[in-house]
Amino acid sequence: MTDDWRKDRIGSALRGENPTVLRRLTAGFAVIGDVQFLPGYSVLLADEPDVRRLSELPKAKRSAFLSDMDRLGEAVERACSRLDSSFRRVNLEILGNTDPFLHAHVWPRFGWEPRESAGKPVWLYPAERWRDERSALGPQHDALRQAIGAELDGLQGAAE
């Protein structure tokens, strides 16, 4: 499979071609991030490719998207706290400054983060951390993917 899915992340998820998809949720797709320098980094992609802002969704779909974001955040929190004793919290962000489609970032934060980065937004991490091949998503993250997916499944059952 080529990396063409990166050019259309939502469309490729809708077609079943996005390899980062963890689960289909009510209003979008839970995906694991391309970079994993903070293991467990995930993104919620809205399932409507043309929607750019949360406010463009009808109220019911907007609520569903925010509920999905909460579910993904809790799943990442549960999986990361189980897999890494230095897990501290998750940060949830809807930014939209770069990618023109509605999405939400779920960033796990850890006690082992460098002191100069720990109390700041993830976006202030040095550029080399974002391009480091050692933190690129790969087979070494399969257990993490499975753990987050299992938590998403469990939280779905709890909500019903």
Please report the pLDDT score of residue 158 as a whole number. Answer: 65
Give 82-106 pLDDT, tens digit per residue.
999 999 999 999 998 888 899 999 9
Joined together, the tokens standing for residue 115 give 């002191």
What does pTM read for this prediction? 0.94
Domains and CATH numbers, the chain: 3-159 (3.30.428.10)
110: CB partners within 8 A, 6+ apart? 38, 80, 84, 86, 87, 88
CA distance 25 to 82: 23
Average predicted confidence (pLDDT) for the chain:
93
Q: For residue 69, which of 157, 152, 158 has the smallest C-alpha distance?
A: 152
Cα–Cα dist 154/75, whole Å: 9
